[in-house]
Amino acid sequence: MMDEEPTEMAVALEPAAWGWLVLLVLLTTLFLGALSLAVVLLANSYKEAQSYVSPLMMLVLVPAMLAAMPGMELNIQTAFVPVLNIALAIISLFKGSWDPGMLAIVAVAGLVYGIVALWLTSLTFGNENVVTGENFDWKQLFGSRN
C-alpha cells in the first residue's frame, strides 16, 4: 500500500454544467464582493473594516456549511436562501444530478441578491459622510436624497 502511486481525480462535467458553474461562481462573487464593499466602506480604519467583515463572513459560512449536511438538496425552498442555493447548485452539478430549471431559479435569485448588494454599495458610496470619514448616521443612508 505504501508504494502505490496516487490516483488522479478527474472532473467530468458536461459543457453545459461548466457554463452553469461559471455563471454561479460569478453571481456569488458579485453578491459577496458588493456586500463586503458596502460593509467595509463604513469603517474608518483597516482594523475596523476587518472587524466588520469577520462577522459577515461567518454569516456567509453558515449556509455554505449547511449545504454539506446529509439530506440537504436543492429544491424550491432552498433555491432562495443566499449562499446555500449556490452551494447546493454547485454540489448538484458535480454529482451530475442537476435540473436546468432549478439552476435557472438559483441564478435569477443570485442575480437579484447581487443587484440588491450593489444598490446598498451605491447608497453607501453616495453618502458624503461615509466617503469623507465623518460621523455616519444610518438614517442618512436610507433617508431621502435631496
Confidence of residue 18 (pLDDT cuts 50, 70, 90): very high
What pTM did the predictor assign? 0.80
Instruction: Check pLDDT > 70 for residue 121.
Output: yes
- H/E element, 46: helix 46-66
Residues contacting residue 27 through CB under 8 Å, at least 6 positions apart? 86, 107, 110, 111, 113, 114
Average pLDDT, the chain: 87
86-114 pLDDT, tens digit each = 999 999 999 999 999 999 999 999 999 99
65-91 pLDDT, tens digit each = 999 999 999 999 999 999 999 999 999
